[in-house]
Structure formats: C-alpha cells, structure tokens
Structure 1
Amino acid sequence: MKTTATLILLAISGLLFSQKVPESNGSIVSTFNKDENYITSLTSFELNLFENQLYFKWTVKAETKDCLYIMEKSVDNQAFSRIGIIKGIGVPNENIDILYCFKDSNINQNTSYYRIKQLYESGIIRYSDTKVFENPSIQYVVDNINK
C-alpha cells in the first residue's frame, strides 16, 4: 500500500511539473536529516547536468500546503537570485516521498552556486545546503582557447 501511494504521488508530481530529470554520472547529491522544528522535511537534493541544462531534483516528506520552494542561484556564493518557484502540493503523510523537479537552462558561468529556499506562510524560511556546480563545457572552451 505504501509503495502504491508513493508511486501514485510520484506520477502526479511528474505530471504537475512535467520536467524530466535524466540520469547523469555527474550528479551532485545531498541528504538532509529530518528537522523536527519544521513540518516539511527536505530529504534529498540533487543537481544533474544533461545536454547543457542543469536539473534540480529533490524529495520531501510530511509537506504542508503552505510551503513554497524557491530555487536560487549565485555566481559568488553570497548574493543569490531567484530562478524559479514551485508551490508545494501538500501531503502531510511522513510515509510518502514527494518528488519535485526544476530545470535551469541558463548555465553560462564557469562556477555557479545553487540552493533551495523553503518559504512558509508563517514567515519561516529554511535553506538547503548550497551546491557548487562547475560547468565542464565552459572549462573545455577556456582550455581550448589557451592552447
């Protein structure tokens, strides 16, 4: 029953956000410990590069409906800008994993920093760990120019 419910929610999540996250050997993966002070628990966060686009993929448990996920990007790891926003669908059951996906098509920098900001109606803000993304296609161009 738990597996069926998880599969149904994953299918619904995929339809709602309709962004395919391809498999990649160059994944940046992070896992989070559950924080009892917040209802929504961000359990994983990955970045995957595929065909010069960067895909975010993260999972949550026990999500409240008032949660917004704001994807942020920085070139200096100091000043972050919003690059996307997704409203949580709200499934309070801790036994169900909810999958979200987002795509950044603008990865023109050599090094970029990414994080997910969770924002609640109550004003509570929570951040994921920051991921560092080194763009291999930019480095390849620089290496060839220097030869």
Structure 2
Amino acid sequence: MLPSVVCLLVQKSASFNPNRLQKKKKTNMYYLYSSSVASWHMRTSRLVGQLSIYLSIYLSIYLSIQCSHVLVKFNYLRYLSIYLSIYLSIYLSIYLTHNVLYYSLFLSIYLSIYLSIYLSIYLSIYLSIRKYLSIYLSIYLSIYLSIMCLKKSPAEKKMICQI
C-alpha cells in the first residue's frame, strides 16, 4: 500500500507545472475582476435607477408647474365662458321671441341663463379636476416608467425609456 502512495506522489510532483498554476491564478483574477465589475455594474444601475426616479418626479412637478400657466389661461376662458353663454342665451331668447309669443321670452331667458350657469360650473369643475389629475397622473407615470426601467433587461429598458 505504501508504494502506491509513493507512486501517486511522484506522479503528482511530475505533473506539477508552475505555468499551469499561473494560468489558474490569471483565471481566478479574471473571475475576481469580472465579479467586481458585475457588482459595480449592479451598484451603478441601482444608483442610476434611483436617480432616474428622483429626476422623473422633479421633471413631472416642473412640467405640471409649467402647465399651470396654460391652465390659468383656461381659467380666464372659464370666466369668459359665463359671459359668452349669457350673451348667447339672450341672443337665442330674442331670436326665439320673433317666432313665439311674448311670455316665452321670459321662459327662454330663464332657461338660457340656467343652462349658461350650469355649463360654466361644469367647465370650471372639469378644468380644475383636469389640472389636479394631470399632476398626479404625470407623477404616477414617471414613477411607473422608472420602476419598469429598473426591472427590465437592457434591450427592454431602451425601448421603454424611448417612450
């Protein structure tokens, strides 16, 4: 039994090659390098993902503030719409009086003013809800797209982020 162990040791020592050891060290260094690059890539991709979330929230808030200037113009239109609708209702009532009896003039004025007030209230509610919904929707969409960009592969990220 002892001679077979000695033969194995001699064979092992004969097959010992220092170049082979260096190659193994190089491959181990390569694996170490590639794993450090992969961990660096993971850390930077997380950081980029977090930065993209914060940047998208900032941009959505900035865009909603910029859109509020447009909504101010819509508010002016809302106030003008009251006067325009009253003017239109009076015009329609006068036009209708040429064809109908005199008492229908009061009825048509009443109905037209009622409709104009109803329309102006509807427009003001619609525009105010639209403003707030656009702010929340833009923030939600930017966060959703940022999260989707974090979860997808690089090819899918490129396609989503181009949207």
Please identify which structure carries the higher strand content: 1
TM-score grouping bracket, smaller chain normalisation: under 0.3
Q: 1 or 2 for the larger relative contact order (CA 8 Å, sep ≥6)?
A: 2
* TM-score, scaled relative to structure 2: 0.19
Please identify which structure carries the higher helix content: 2
From the CA coordinates, give the structure whose radius of gyration is larger: 2
* TM-score, scaled relative to structure 1: 0.21
